[in-house]
Amino acid sequence: LAEDLRRFENVLKSFFTFCCCFFSTSEPPEFTAMSSFSDKSKATASDFLSATKKGFFRTTQKIKQSLGKAEQTIDISYNQEVDRFRAHYKAVKRINKNSIKLLECYRDLSVAQANVAEDFYNLYESKHALYNAALKTQDTMKFVDNARIQLDEQMRKDFVDPTSKYLGQFKDIKNRIAANEVRRIDMDRYNEDLRSLQKNSVGHKIPMAETKYKIAKANYTALNTELLRDMPALYEDRDKFFDPCMATYVTATAEYHRQSAKTTADAISVIAHIDRGMVHDHPRVVVSTELSAVHHLVTAVNEDGSAASSSSVGRPVSAEVSSVSAASSYPSAAPANPNAGRPMPTPAPRPAASPRLPQAKALFDFTPSEANELGFGAGDILTIHRKTATNHTKRAADTSPFPSEYFSFCFKHRGKQASTDHQ
């Protein structure tokens, strides 16, 4: 893998060398007329190619170092300071975020308190004894919100805003750590190139390689030394910075709660006589679920109109469970049922409905010619039991046959009656 990376690196070196030479040398005459590159455009393209080349070589060096195919400069004390800095940076960002969240929670609390006070005010009528107390509670919540505004202003001025500004130093250190990592990779890469040239005795390239390595090492050493000084200093500075912030937090919140308690003291005196425990023993004022008429239907009545018997209506299981829990929590205020404990009477079964039969209306008078035939007059209504092959139809009671051509047949269909004349 290392050999393949080396070959690929050599190919890219040749390509980037060609590109750099192309953009830095004079253009041939025939190309000059077609060219749209200005000096600034050529410089920008050259810088882009140079940055791309460096980025590739740095990535290659990191891969080789991660695979153990190249030497890597390791500074243990520096790495320890970086780890401590990152933990410190995380803690400072957390306290800044939570302080902002705290102020938002106080604001939401103030809005909720004002809403509840308004709800109580709307609940009471003007003649109620606590109407004025509810009105005063509304005004009290306004004073409490003013105290909250003072808390917000003080916290932002002396805690949140300074902490946000203080975090700027951490962002600078974070960027410098990333830049120092790039310088370390460049130093290791130039050092590896120099050793390769010295090993292969390529004398004419060694001075240039030595210069690149020394410059890269000097840049890395300068930034590394600076970070080894600044990171511990920033960590040790935490107490000096956060002591005033802590004092602001404690003082501001204590003042807010003090003003809130002072403002609500008058409202407390108005409701001091009320037993707050009564809410747990408050009786139920509506009919219990078991006795509610919604679950009972009257099946018979007495002469005076009172219910003589009734039947239960089926209920979902969830409704039964909720009714039991409600009945156990609240004593029923409904009058006692004299029939409680007695089994409900079973209603008499209804007779099965007979199937509907078609009917026919006589159009003419008919005098029977045989003893078993049925006589009828025009306009008579007969019920049809069945039709025979001799075109005679049997009626309802004695099922005597009669000629069907004397009738207009009526049919029942979905509650609507339709007639058709026999042809």
Asked if residue 261 lies in contact with residue 307, where contact means CB atoms within 8 angstroms, the answer is: no
Supply the DSSP symbol for 199: H
Which of the two residues, 167 and 53, has the higher pLDDT score? 167
In our burial notation (b when 16+ CB lie closer than 10 A, e otherwise), range 378-397 reads eebebebeeeeeeebbbbee
Q: How many CA atoms lie within 13 A of 24 on its CB side?
A: 10
Which of the two residues, 75 and 62, has the higher pLDDT score? 75
Query: How much is the mean pLDDT over the chain?
Result: 77
Residue 186 burial by CB count (10 A; 0-12/13-18/19+): exposed, middle or buried?
buried
Asked if residue 420 lies in contact with residue 409, where contact means CB atoms within 8 angstroms, the answer is: yes
Q: What are 359-362's contacts with CB under 8 Å, separation 24+?
A: 359/383, 359/384, 359/409, 359/410, 360/384, 360/393, 360/404, 360/407, 360/408, 360/409, 360/410, 361/407, 361/408, 361/410, 361/419, 362/406, 362/407
Q: What tokens were used for 204?
A: 């004419």
Where would I find the H helices in 67-205?
76-123, 131-155, 161-200
Q: Which of 4-18, 35-49, 172-186, 257-271 has the highest mean pLDDT?
A: 172-186
Would the pLDDT of 171 be above 90? Answer: yes
pTM of this structure: 0.56
pLDDT tens digits, one per residue of 230-287: 999 999 999 999 999 999 999 999 999 999 998 888 777 778 888 888 899 899 999 9
Q: How confident is the model at residue 409 (pLDDT cuts 50, 70, 90)?
A: low
Bridge-partner residues for 311, per DSSP?
Answer: 297
CA distance 155 to 255: 12
Neighbours of 249 (CB within 10 A): 18
Q: What tokens were used for 379?
A: 């306009």
Asked if residue 16 lies in contact with residue 49, where contact means CB atoms within 8 angstroms, the answer is: yes
CA distance 377 to 363: 8
pLDDT tens digits, one per residue of 65-97: 777 777 888 899 999 999 999 999 999 999 999
